[in-house]
Structures are given as structure tokens and as C-alpha cells.
Amino acid sequence: MAHTSFSLLIILVACVTVASSASTFDDENPIRTVVSDALREFETSILSVVGNSRHALSFARFGHRYGKRYKTAEETKLRFAIFSENLKLIRSHNKKGLSYTLAVNHFADWTWEEFRRHRLGAAQNCSATTKGNHKLTEEALPEMGQRESGVGGGRPAALKVLGNILTSSYRPLKDWRVSGIVSPVKDQGHCGSCWTFSTTGALEAAYKQAFGKGISLSEQQLVDCAGAFNNFGCCSGGLPSQAFEYIKYNGGLDTEEAYPYTAQNGACKFSSENVGVQVLESVNITLGAEDELQHAVAVVRPVSVAFEVVNGFRFYKDGVYTSDTCGRTPMEMYMLMVCALHWHLACVATCASYPIVA
């Protein structure tokens, strides 16, 4: 796959809930934080180990904000060193004036290797999407022009025009959050189950779109029960497309309330009495087909996607995320794409799929 740059306006982070927590921590000026007795006591214990400096004060405020507790002085010093390096990375990025910003969040005392081990899914074989079954139709985009004969194998000319427009604009074509069908972000915890959250996010959006009411569905059932469809829980990961197939042939997916998330592998406890949604079909985007992905997100509904995560992404705060890293390692992060604005989507037009629900 070519190393193509791409931009995404909003991807609902089903695994890495970073943005909401990042906005409440001021790493630039820790002095601004209101000091409580508990914070002062925590600061004293941290500074007595790592010394008194501006970085040390930021580290102490970070630790208090996110409930960090280190067992030994050696661990405290190690986490402070990691925090300091991550803080340098964040500030260096933000000085470049790029289209998105980074901020300190609860991953700031983790190494990149720890983050990959605990938060990213195992690389999967996306062969099922080599030839997808999503259909590009004129009817879906009636306001965007006529079909261009002889170009792109009969794909709508509107999509070609749309791509040219989007490469020069950050205005979103479709933001499904505005439509009210996107569920709140969840947190996967210390379990490589991002594929399950991408799956339930797509299903919850499809359900709200179809039936006009929200629902929260069980990620834990997918962790525990979907092994026969080449999904392997917290440790070895899975694919949303395979999860949709499991749900289809299983007879449904239970609600979150009936089958709550535990962030660890367990015995299957599925009950047909607690089914919240059923899947009629899984629709796959052809591997690398940017026009299909753009079309699906623009006119159908949010789409489960995978993409290659790089070091800085774990500190994403806001803005339009861009990356020129593509195709060098297997896709290992599965999320829900709720709004796209740039034509270059090759890096996420892999393992992309969405469900048709009943």
C-alpha cells in the first residue's frame, strides 16, 4: 500500500478515550491548578522523590488528576522520566501549528510500547474486504451530478468532483454526530478489544437511525462468545466484519445492561432473552476503495474502520487528525468513522464495514 497522507475530521475513538480527559489538564501552567489539601500532600510525596521543578510539579498534578499511585520510589522516577519525554513530544507537536493538537491525558506516564500492548488490537487478516459489497449509486447522491460514462468503471462522477472539493476544504460532507445517531464514547480498559467497540458503535448508530431510539450494546458478549468467527477476545483481537457475521448467525447481540463489560476474557453468557439488536447483513468496503468509504460515510451511516496508529495519536486532543504514515505496519486500531472530509482515505479504507440491522 502506498504511503499516502490522509485526514479525518472526526473518528469516534471507541478504544482510546483521550480527548475528553485531556482538555481538563493544563500542562503548560500547573500553577493555575487550585491546590487542595489532598493535592498538596500528593505533590509533597512526589516532589520528595523526583525533585522540585516545573516538570515535576506538572507530573504531580497529572498524577493527582488521574489517580496515579506508584508503589516505589524507583517506579515514581521511571514514570516521571516517561512523562517528561511525552510532555516534550506534546509541546513540540503543538508548536508546529498543525491541524490538530495534542494534550496530556491518562496515558502520559506510559511508554509507546505499553500503550500498544494494552490498548491496540492485534493485527488482523482483512481478506474478506478484498472485494467488498458496498454499492455506489446515483440515487444516494441525487444532488451531486450525473454519472460520468467511461470513467472509474461507471462510478458516479459526483464522487470524483467531491474528492477534488474535499482535498482543499476542511468542511465536513456529513457529520453523523449532528444527526444524533452516534453513541457516547466508551473506554475499553486494559483489554485489546477495540474491535468490539467499533462493532457496537456501528450497530448502535444503525439502530438509532432505523428505529429512532438509542441503545447500548454488549462488547463483552463479543469478547466472550465470538471465537468461532475468528475473533479472539482481549488478547488476539478480531474484526467488526467478523463480529457482524457472528451476530447474524448467533441470533443477536445482548444489551450492555444485560451483559456488562469487564475488560477481560470470560465464559460466554449470551441469552436470547436479552437481545438488543439483530444483524441482517454485513456490508464490506472494497480494500483500498476510498470512493466507496467516502460514499458510505457520507450517505449511509458511520462505518467501522481500522488504521495504523502512530506514537503521537495517543495524546490527540482536538482538530483534524492527519498522518503520512500508512502501510508500514498492519492495521491495529479499530474505531468508528462518523465524519470524513478528505479524499485521501487509503489508510483507513481497509477492514471497513457497516451492518444492516433488524
pLDDT at 26: 62
Q: Which whole-number Å values give the CA distances from 271 to 179, 200, 232, in the listed order?
A: 32, 17, 20
Contacts of 178 (CB under 8 A, 6+ apart): none
pLDDT at 228: 92
Give the whole-angstrom CA distance, residue 308 versus residue 329: 7
pLDDT at 293: 87
Domain residue limits, the chain: 6-17+121-357, 24-102
Mean pLDDT for back-to-back runs of 10 residues, the chain (358 residues): 46 45 53 69 92 93 94 97 97 94 96 87 62 60 34 40 42 81 91 92 97 97 93 82 96 98 96 98 87 88 87 88 68 82 62 92
pLDDT at 167: 43
pLDDT at 155: 43
DSSP 107: T
- Which candidate, 257, 273, 278, 275, places its Cα nearest to that of 210? 278
pLDDT at 152: 35
Instruction: Give the pTM.
Output: 0.76
Give the 3-state secondary structure of residue 75: helix
pLDDT at 10: 44
What class has domain 6-17+121-357? alpha beta
pLDDT at 238: 87
pLDDT at 319: 86
